[in-house]
Amino acid sequence: MKDLSKTRVADIMTAPVIECARSELVAEAARRMIEMGVHCLIVPHDDPMRLPGVMTLRDVVDVLAAEDQRIDTLRVEDAMTMPCLNVQADTCLLDCINQMRQFGVRTVPVMDGGEAIGVLSFTDVVRFAVDRA
């Protein structure tokens, strides 16, 4: 599809960024994802010069599957994906999709320099493709 190579990530990402604190309980983060209809939350790093992590629904499922962990006592910082794949806003959509597939992720923070400005998910990509079909 030609549109994928001509489109930038920022053109179809979901914004604004929805964040959660590293100290937040996994259950609270999961509840917010469900209520807001999103697959991940951005977890800013304590050091603003470092890239953020993400708390994904998959991370929540991993906690649920672990016999010795509970979502109502475990903190986001102990379950989140960090480091995670991040892409710059001006990245070509096709290149981004290929990176996501290569690393086995379905959602990536979209950065403008060192600031998270959105999230790109496979849902965004498929919605874009279907709207042009």
17 contact partners, CB below 8 Å, separation of at least 6: 42, 109, 116, 117, 118, 119
Length of the chain: 133
Q: Can you give the pTM of this predicted structure? A: 0.88
pLDDT single digits (tens) 50-97: 888 999 999 999 999 998 899 999 999 999 998 889 999 999 999 999
| Domains observed in the chain | 2-132 (3.10.580.10)
Q: What is the spatial distance between Cα 9 and Cα 107, in angstroms, rounded to a whole number?
A: 12
Torsion of CA 99, 66, 70, 18, to 10 degrees: 10
Report d(CA 8, CA 13) in Å as an integer.
9
